[in-house]
Chains A and B, each alone.
Chain A
Amino acid sequence: DVKVTQSSRYLVKRTGEKVFLECVQDMDHENMFWYRQDPGLGLRLIYFSYDVKMKEKGDIPEGYSVSREKKERFSLILESASTNQTSMYLCASSWGNQPQHFGDGTRLSIL
């Protein structure tokens, strides 16, 4: 069974801090994704990656960056956290056009 692991379930940070969210998958999937989920807005794609060191902007990349140095790991970085980045962050992975496998999310609060 595919396992996607996000490093933290809950995280509280201060405005202006640099925040790292980590995601690891164990199935050698080429694709990895970062979403945020907000009530009434659903899942919105922040960034995705089709291969090591490759990254593509999603629908809402502003204020975020990503890093994929190894195939199994995809990191989301909030360069200078702001209160409007308080949200649930979900990581997913997939192979080709196959369905995505999700982690259980990180609920991030920016104070």
Chain B
Amino acid sequence: SQKIEQNSEALNIQEGKTATLTCNYTNYSPAYLQWYRQDPGRGPVFLLLIRENEKEKRKERLKVTFDTTLKQSLFHITASQPADSATYLCASDGQNFVFGPGTRLSVLP
């Protein structure tokens, strides 16, 4: 069955550095991948969508890539700030809409 993995449950980085989060999918080929941010006690909030025919998408300090050969998406936050601390979820279409388990990012001042 279709599956999404985010290979880091938690990631700590220093303020000002670039955070890189990974999303891997198996057993299917999604037409697009989405990235969401979730703060404690809140629902996820959509950040970026990238389609299978797009290599890269940017929005302000955010960048997402989609590599169909590696079956992987990378999500980058440049010049990270403590306010970027949250859980980031990868999601995709398929037989059912599927979310990864998330990566909890902590940006340390």
Contact = CB atoms under 8 A, between A and B. Distances in A.
B89 interface: yes
Nearest to B32: A97
A45 B97 contact: yes
B6 to A, nearest CB: 8
Interface stretch (B14-22, B42-50, B60-68, B73-81): B42-50
B41 A105 contact: yes
A81 interface: no
Contacts of A41: 101
A27 interface: no
A105 B41 CA distance: 8
A33 interface: yes
B69 interface: no
Nearest to A90: B43
Contacts of A44: 99
Interface of A: 4, 33, 35, 40-45, 48, 58-59, 90, 92, 97, 99-105
Given A4-B43, A100-B44, A104-B41, 17 more contacts: A35-B99, A42-B89, A42-B100, A43-B44, A43-B99, A45-B97, A48-B96, A58-B96, A90-B43, A99-B36, A99-B46, A99-B49, A101-B46, A102-B45, A104-B43, A105-B41, A105-B42
